[in-house]
Structures are given as structure tokens and as C-alpha cells.
Amino acid sequence: MKPKSDFINLSSAVGLGLIGFNEKNIVVDYGCIFFDSFVYASRLCKKVVGIIPSSERLNTLQKRLVEEDVKNCDLVNANYNEQHFNEVFDCVIINSFLEQLIIEIKRDKTIFFDSKIRDKKRYSGPEKIRIGFFKTICKGLRPGGTLYLSYANKLRIRTLLLFIKLAIKSFFTAISLKEAPSFISLLNAIYLFSYYLLSQEGLEKLLRTNGFVDIEKYAVFPDLKYPLKIIPLSKLDEFSFEPVQYLYRGRCFRRICAGARRRIDIIIFNKLKLFSLSPSFIITARKAS
């Protein structure tokens, strides 16, 4: 009889299907946020290295790997910048681990939101916009190796939550000076949001200056945890967007919400083609040979 683990469904790792692993590949997963993805990569590749800064997550992943009898892996409990690997990787996976990058971006917003910068002279050369995280990645990747980067569209959610919060408040209370901070934070969110939309190109530029080519960007629906639809943004003219079926069984209210969400998706993505508002993104790129 086959062990139970042989029948575990790793469908949540469908995003990694964009890579096309082979049995000779050595892969590194920064953060190991999605365990299914780690296991999936281990099944198809020669070896997977996982870098997990959190000891708690490391222990949980170790247990899972024992359960699933995964042996072709190394787990490293450290930050990305503390590692000096002897190996050169064929693929780097960064699943929802952009927070690390965001910490670095926070130090100098102009690096990421470069398309908003009026004074281009502030850059003395491409070296200026190299970020430690990408430097480390690029160093460990073999020429021609693949980068797989996925991240949630968090500013979208933040703005939406602020809108809802404000709408509820204004419904129940009269507008007064007390709401002023809310209005300011809303305006701030809209401002950040406009930056964010403009920064979509910024991230690509960041990858290019770090030596990546063939950069492809994908919109992911409904989320990164269980992607049901992944659309290449460079092929938008070749198909019409069909929203994913949100499966909310049981309660009537939930079904109504799912239907409403589907209709909103049709308006935003099919009619208005605002794919910058996609819930999540995946970027694949290749290190220049």
C-alpha cells in the first residue's frame, strides 16, 4: 500500500508550473512561506534549499517534510543576507517574501517608486538602485537561471479597507473634525496607491538593473495561496478574462457575496482591464547569461 503522503494534493503550487523544473535543478526557496510549493519543488528537482528566518516555521516545515518523506532538501535557519552558499542555484523562489525587500525599500522609497521621481539625475548609474536582497539572489543564481517571485497586492487591500472603514463611519456619524485623521489617511492611501500603480514598472526596472532578462509578469486570481487563474500580462489582448468561481458553499449570504465579487471582477478586469488591481502577482525572470 502506498503511504498516505503520496496522495497529498499539491495543487496550491500551480504557480510553480510556470517554471518547468527538471530533475537536475537545484533550487532555493527564500522564506519557505508556502510549504506545498517547497514539497512540490522537492518532488521535481534534484535538491531544494530552504531559508527560514523563523525557528517556529522551520520546526513546522521539518515535521511536514518528515511526514512526506522529503529527503532531497536542506533547511537553513537564517536571514537571506547571512548566507554564503557554495552551490549555484538553477532557480530562486521568493513566495510572498517581498516583505524583506519592502524593509529595504522603506529606507529609500525613491529606489522602488522610481517612475515618480522627477529628477532622474539623482541616479548616478544603475549601481545605485541595486538592493541587497536582489544582489544576494543574483549572486547565487547561475547564468540563465530562473527567478520566481510572487507577492500579494497589499496596497490594494489597504486602500479598500480604508475606504470601507470611512464609508461605514460616515454612514453612522456626522462628519466632524474627529474624522479629519481618517480623511488624511485615506488621501495618503490614495497617494500611495497611485505610487504603487506607477511602481509596477519600477520593480521590473529593479530586476533589469540587477541583471535579469525575459521578465514576465502574471496576474494571479483569487490569491497566491490557492491560485485558480494566472494570466500573463503581456498577452492581455489575446483573451477575454473569465473570473474565477468563488466557491462559498452553505450560507446564502456567502453565495451572494461570491456572486457580487464575480460581477465586480467582470467590471474591473474584463471591461476596464485594470489588471494593476489584481489580487496578486507572479514575476518570472531569467539571469542574463
According to DSSP, the residues that pair with 92 across neighbouring strands are 28, 147
- Name residues contacting another protein, limited to 191-220 (CB under 8 A): 216, 218
Shortest spacing between CB 150 and another protein, in angstroms: 13
Shortest spacing between CB 167 and another protein, in angstroms: 34
Q: How far is CA 287 from CA 60, 82, 239, in A?
A: 32, 22, 29
The Cα–Cα gap between 231 and 239 comes to 9
Closest to another protein by CB, 192 vs 215, is: 215
By the rule CB under 8 A, 63 interacts with another protein:
no
Q: Which of 14, 152, 155, 258 binds another protein (CB under 8 A)?
A: 14
DSSP 36-70: HHHHHHHHHSSEEEEE-S-HHHHHHHHHHHHHTT-
Q: Which of 20, 71, 82 is nearest to 47 (CA)?
A: 71
Site string for another protein, 37-56 (x = CB under 8 A): ---x--xx------------
The count of chain residues that interact with another protein, using the rule CB under 8 A, is: 29
Q: Specify the stretch interacting with another protein by CB under 8 A; choose among 14-22, 109-117, 150-158, 272-280.
A: 14-22
Q: Which cell goes with 229? A: 487563474
Q: Which of 212, 206, 95 is nearest to 145 (CA)?
A: 212
By the rule CB under 8 A, 289 interacts with another protein:
no
Closest to another protein by CB, 140 vs 217, is: 217
Q: Is the dihedral of CA 17, 23, 28, 32 positive or negative?
A: positive
Closest to another protein by CB, 74 vs 214, is: 214
Q: How far is CA 225 from CA 96, 147, 157, 187, 252, in A?
A: 10, 19, 16, 30, 25
By the rule CB under 8 A, 279 interacts with another protein:
no
Shortest spacing between CB 60 and another protein, in angstroms: 21
Q: Which residues bind another protein (CB under 8 A)?
A: 2, 6-11, 13-15, 17-18, 20, 23, 40, 43-44, 216, 218, 226-232, 234-235, 239
